[in-house]
Amino acid sequence: MKKQGMIVQNRHFGVFLFCVLCIADPIFAEDWHQFHGPQRNRISRESDWQAKWDQEGPPELWRQTIGVGFASISVVGNRAYTMGNQDNQDTVWCFDANTGEEIWKYTYPCERFANMHEGGPCGTPTVDAHAVFTVSKEGRMFCLDVATGTKLWEKNLPEEFGVKIPTWHFSVSPLLENEHVILDVGSAIALNKITGDVIWKTKDYGASYSSPVAFTLREKRYLAIFPAFGLVILDAQTGAEIGKYEWKTRYEINAATPIVSGNQFFISSGYGSGGSLLEMSEDGQIKEVWHNRMMRNHMNACVLWNNYLYGFDESNLKCIDFKTGKDQWSESSLGKGSLMLADGKLIILGERGELVIAEASEKEWKPITRKQVLSGRCWTIPVLSHGKIFCRNAAGDLVCLDVRKQ
């Protein structure tokens, strides 16, 4: 009887535990290990964060000076990685994400290359279990030990691969795809991430300021790149060209990362170019669905959410219909900013350092809360990871804000 009672009691406990798990609020924190996040779509699945603040704004956990540049922040667990330039030296930084304490840094000579902006590194570190991958404006690629920052291998891309240095120099953020690390530096290049050995290299498609995106279509992996030529689709395993669409812009600048949805691609450029929705058939033919000038992404790409695009049309934040290109609404108070999305909300950093949380609504501009967090020019995408928002300016001020639910 005693044993039977224990079984019944255990069953009751099991039912109780099941009910607790079912009714508990879903909580999800997520690493942001590379430029534009896990899927390179500027969207986080994170839900355990506070989108509405009081007048004081979110508490500032820490602040660091990292050097001039536009590199964003990558976060894995309790570590944050970024880059900056001071006195013509680049530094790759690894900080404790909770305290801002320096864990390690790796410094090497590199000119700042200030040309119509402050200069400094534009690519963002990419992090995996064993290494951190970075590319400098001069085209030096580093693979650093994730624990210590020790150099594991290095590639001089112009010297070793004959790629041309673009007018505004390199800004690519490496992409990890299985055992490969992939770059678009005019030619797309795949390297073995452990050894640095070359796996494949494409022909030259012209200057590249954007970063590659990997996607799955009909159970096969592909890459979308956006060099000076336009949109190019590659086989992710071999680098073979699958399809291409010419898209010429002034100064050969295509900087915004392509957006992929099934077999459709949204590309956009500044300098009056506008944006286009393209569609690729099974045989690799790419045709235009629509084109207009409602969304001219100068540098930072849009977010696609529920069939609507949210992004900066030059200096105006806009929402447009993904399927038709129709303009939904526009907001002019934030300048040439950047944004990401989490839990159905836009996390926006305005050009002058104002952090804004807004509903991702196609009907109207619906800000929830806003706070001035930085000064100076801010063109770098903010990052939400593990209940913290990381923002930087071009001058090299990096701030970490606590938005965890209390």
The set of residues, in sequence order, having a beta carbon less than 8 Å from that of 246 and lying 6+ positions away, is 229, 230
Q: What is the pLDDT of residue 48?
A: 87
Specify burial of residue 84 (Cβ count, 10 A radius: 0-12, 13-18, 19+): buried
- Per-residue pLDDT of the chain (406 residues), as tens digits, is 444 444 434 444 343 333 333 333 445 689 999 999 999 999 999 998 999 999 899 999 999 999 999 999 999 999 999 999 999 999 999 999 999 999 999 999 999 999 889 999 999 999 999 999 999 999 999 999 999 999 999 999 999 999 999 999 999 999 999 999 999 999 999 999 999 999 999 999 999 999 999 999 999 999 999 999 999 999 999 999 999 999 999 889 999 999 999 999 999 999 999 999 999 999 999 999 999 999 999 999 999 999 999 999 999 999 999 999 999 999 999 999 999 999 999 999 999 999 999 999 999 999 999 999 999 999 999 999 999 999 999 999 999 999 999 7
Whole-angstrom Cα distance, residue 254 to residue 248?
9
How is domain 32-338+359-402 classified at the CATH fold level?
A: Methylamine Dehydrogenase; Chain H (2.130.10)
| Dihedral sign, Cα of residue 321, residue 322, residue 325, residue 329 | positive
144/375 Cα distance (integer angstroms): 31
Which pairs count as long-range contacts for 240-248, CB under 8 Å and 24+ apart, including other chains? Answer: 241/202, 242/280, 242/284, 243/280, 243/284, 243/285, 243/286, 244/286, 245/278, 245/286, 245/288, 247/273, 247/276
pTM for this prediction:
0.92
pLDDT of residue 120: 97
For the chain, the structural domain boundaries read: 32-338+359-402
Confidence at residue 26, expressed as pLDDT on a 0 to 100 scale: 46
Q: What's the confidence (pLDDT) of residue 116?
A: 87
Q: State the pairing for strand pair 187-192/180-185.
A: antiparallel
